[in-house]
Chains A and B, each alone.
Chain A
Amino acid sequence: AQTVTQSQPEMSVQEAETVTLSCTYDTSESDYYLFWYKQPPSRQMILVIRQEAYKQQNATENRFSVNFQKAAKSFSLKISDSQLGDAAMYFCAYRRRGSGTYKYIFGTGTRLKVLA
């Protein structure tokens, strides 16, 4: 069975600094998606960034980038130039790729605090 592990329940970063959130996963599949979702306080969960496992290039979305290490089954999220609005719960998630209905496997989340 697939698992997703986020070993940092809480992290803090100074405004304008860089922070990295860790995620490891376990799967026997070779084709899958990995996601980072952001859940701001009392607000809707939204997708931050997505990585397709067959792509070697790390995904980037503005200040958000990932370090995808397929062999190590590691998928960390780097937030550069942190802003107060980045404060949220961040969830790492896995889903098998392909047509069909596959379960999404979520980690337990990392609460990020941004200090002014």
Chain B
Amino acid sequence: GQNIDQPTEMTATEGAIVQINCTYQTSGFNGLFWYQQHAGEAPTFLSYNVLDGLEEKGRFSSFLSRSKGYSYLLLKELQMKDSASYLCAVRDSNYQLIWGAGTKLIIKP
């Protein structure tokens, strides 16, 4: 079956750096996406990786290793507003998005 694993919850301190990991096993691979979702709101797109390596976008970076079925989202200079759930999603060979359960990130002052 298809499976995406990410930690349920993480806690970090304002101003620090946090890395949220995602491992996946899917039928084929056509890209990996990270979304941010605040409580009661729809997800918002953060990043997209289809080739191995690091994609940097401001305070957020996303890394992909296709051979390892592994990605991480790196958040730098954490702000209180970064408290949210972070969803990892993989597009499989049928171009269907397979969603992880999400990682709830708690930022403490």
Answer whether A and B are interacting partners. no
